[in-house]
Structure 1
Amino acid sequence: MAPPFETTRTIRLGHTDAARRMFFARQFDLIHEAYEDWLEANGLPIRTLLEDSDFGLPIVRAESDYRGSLFAGDRVCITITVEGRTERSFTLSYVLRSGDRQVGTAKTVHVAVDRASGRSCPISGTLADILSRQLD
């Protein structure tokens, strides 16, 4: 199994709410940005996926737990692990840390959907190779 992927983000003022803490929905923004970084680091920039693939990858399930507050200026390290894969879907797990504190966890399930028919389809090409490398 490949080591987990890590990327870092800075919490911006726009991520926070009136209580000056990161607004809960922004955790999904952060993990999606990390997902795009993960794709690019593995040789599949999001633009290439969107423009050159015959399938899309909608998220069909997302969950998130908030374990600690983040404030504007805080740095957060996001670790991504491929948790599982089927022929047509894959699951990513995320851990968010600020310093030595775990401040959140999340999970997303992505399904390959044929752009022409709108039906689920097998994951193929570069993405299939990436997932195989991550799980081997």
Structure 2
Amino acid sequence: MDDSVSQYSFIVRLHDTDAAGRLFFGHLFRHAQDAFESFMAHLGWPIPDLIQRGEWLLPVIHAEADYQRPIHHGELIWVEVGVEEIRRRSFALAYWFRKEDGTETAQARTVHILMSAVGEKDLALPEALRLALARHLKDAAVGVSCARAHPDAQS
């Protein structure tokens, strides 16, 4: 892991799995959200504080994932989070899901836009947040295969 990536881990619980004992595909996004919240706290922008202040929202406007290998009940999974792109009002995060031995199991991508909590208008990212995100910016050649620009996040 390089300095531009943040890590989060979880153990696959029974309630995370489908009838075959594998991680239910939709639950990957729940774990991506947990990794996102951990990442934002690591940056010094904890989500609970943003919510409590009631000024800003960071909703997901796009999410996608690719699955390479099954993830099974009881496995420890590491999630690496890196910043893929920073725009004026939005940013994209990449997530790499790996088993303990480093085997990549899935990749995901989310695009978040900054909005005012009142009136829900798009806002420019604060410079302090841009700088915090920029410290974790990944080389564009390294990232998730599913990464594509989302038309709603062009600015």
Residue type matched to 1:121 in 2? L
Structure 1 counterpart of 2:117, which letter?
R
Q: CA offsets per residue over residues 43-79 of structure 1, 9 Å max, x none? A: 2222112112522011000000111111111011101
Instruction: Give the root-mean-square deviation of aligned CA atoms.
Output: 1.8
User: Distance in 1 between the 2:77 and 2:115 partners?
Assistant: 32
Whether the 8 Å CA contact 1:2–1:135 is kept in 2: the answer is no
- Scaled by the length of structure 2, the TM-score of the pair is 0.81
The one-letter code matched in structure 2 to 1:69 is: P
- Which residue of 1 is the match for residue 145 of structure 2? none
Alignment-mate amino acid for residue 70 of structure 2: S
For normalisation by structure 1, the TM-score amounts to: 0.91
How much does 1:107 deviate?
0.4
Q: Is 1:88–1:112's contact at 8 Å kept on the other side of the alignment?
A: yes
Paired residue for 2:117, among 106, 115, 118?
Answer: 115
Structure 1: runs of 5+ lacking an equivalent: none
CA apart distance, 1:2: 4.5
Q: What is the deviation of 1:10?
A: 0.6
Determine the structure 1 residue equivalent to 2:34. Answer: 33
Over 2 Å off, 4+ runs: 125-129, 132-136
Aligned-partner Cα distance in 1 for 2:4–2:91: 17
Fraction of identical pairs, as percent:
29
Identify the range of structure 1 (18-27 vs 2-11) with the bigger mean alpha-carbon deviation.
Answer: 2-11
